[in-house]
Structure 1
Amino acid sequence: MALNIQDLMKQLRNWNNGSRNIAKEGWDTLSRLPRGKYIYSYLIGRYAPYTGSIKAVIEELSTGHSEVVLKDTPNLRNHLQSIHAVALANLAELTGNIALSYSMPADARFIVSKMELEYVKKARGTVTGVCDCPVPTSNAKKTYLVPVRIVNDAGEVVCKATLHSLVGPKK
């Protein structure tokens, strides 16, 4: 039986009814399998197609923490031959969102209401988004500041971001 991605995505949306944390369950299951991190990252990109457009790979994910890798490719570059600012913003949002999503109670959801970005230096080569975020303990309506830093292979910070994420109950 062939895997139908559209049907799988529909099932994921239906399962996300407030009783399960699909981001956490998916990672905890897939990340242990061969190529599981790539499969998980691909599915996240299908769930949120704009996020998937940069083809980043989630390498580490745990409560309050994520690391997401983005390879420098020609289609992500600007006129200065560095990674485009919007691609870095997309990486920052994915990195913060996946850490927060993994960490939330099953009956909570969130939306980013504001992003602050500081581009520190040109981003070239593979970059990694790193997030250590606060961990919501309930679905009470509250805004969390989710910090993300993006570093290059030399460990230099190329971008700093803060996501203002409004957490609340699933309907």
Structure 2
Amino acid sequence: MANQLLDLWHKLSGAPGGKWLFSKIMGWKVPYTGSVRPRVMELAPGHAKARLHDRRGVRNHLRSIHALAQMNIAEFVTGLAMTAQLPKDARAIITGLSIEYTKKARGTLTASCQCPELGAITDDRELIIESQLHDEAGDLVSRAKATWRIGPRR
């Protein structure tokens, strides 16, 4: 999957509308994540950045971005960053997710993740990956931790 993911990113991201198309494809492959319409901005092994635009469909009754919309994109970038370096003979599944909200989220949010290097995957293990969401002013609005179980394909 990692090679396919990065190959598709490299093929599309430099073309006009390519990042938009890549994001649409990811939303189609992962329908629930697609519901918040994340826009992937950067992708490399161990690194991902995506934007979430403030719109009525992701807001709560307080006219700020809903907590679960933030959780959704936070988990999405951890998965992208991790999958972008996952060897072909490995697999991963999310087993836990937590988030801390530090500021009311309004306007476009940018979610970013820097995943530790995975190295060889010879046995099952857990990996905790953090992502952060910032608003347009650069203020931290939430911080998430995703627990991924990774291991060799069986």
Q: TM-score, normalised by structure 2?
A: 0.95
Matches for 1:1-171 after TM superposition, within 5 Å: 16=1, 21-140=3-122, 141-171=124-154
Q: Distance between the aligned counterparts of 1:23 and 1:142, measured in 2? A: 22
Offset, 1:135? 2.1
What is the aligned partner in structure 2 of residue 7 from structure 1?
none
Quote the Cα distance in structure 1 between the aligned partners of 2:3 and 2:121. 12
For 1:107-138, what per-residue CA distance to the aligned partner results, in whole angstroms no more than 9, with x for missing partners? 22211100110011110000000101112122
Alignment length, in residue pairs?
153
SS at match of 1:23: helix
Gaps of 5+ in 2: none
Code of the residue aligned with 2:82 in structure 1: it is L
* Conservation of the 8 A alpha-carbon contact between 1:38 and 1:58: yes
TM-score (norm 1): 0.85
Structure 1: runs of 5+ lacking an equivalent: 1-15
Distance in 2 separating the partners of 1:21 and 1:51: 21
> Is the 1:139–1:167 contact (alpha carbons within 8 Å) kept by the matching residues of 2?
yes
Shift of 1:139: 2.7
Root mean square deviation of aligned Cα: 1.2
Identity of aligned pairs, percent? 37
Q: Is the 8 A contact 1:104 1:135 kept in 2?
A: no
| Superposition deviation, residue 145 in structure 1 | 1.0
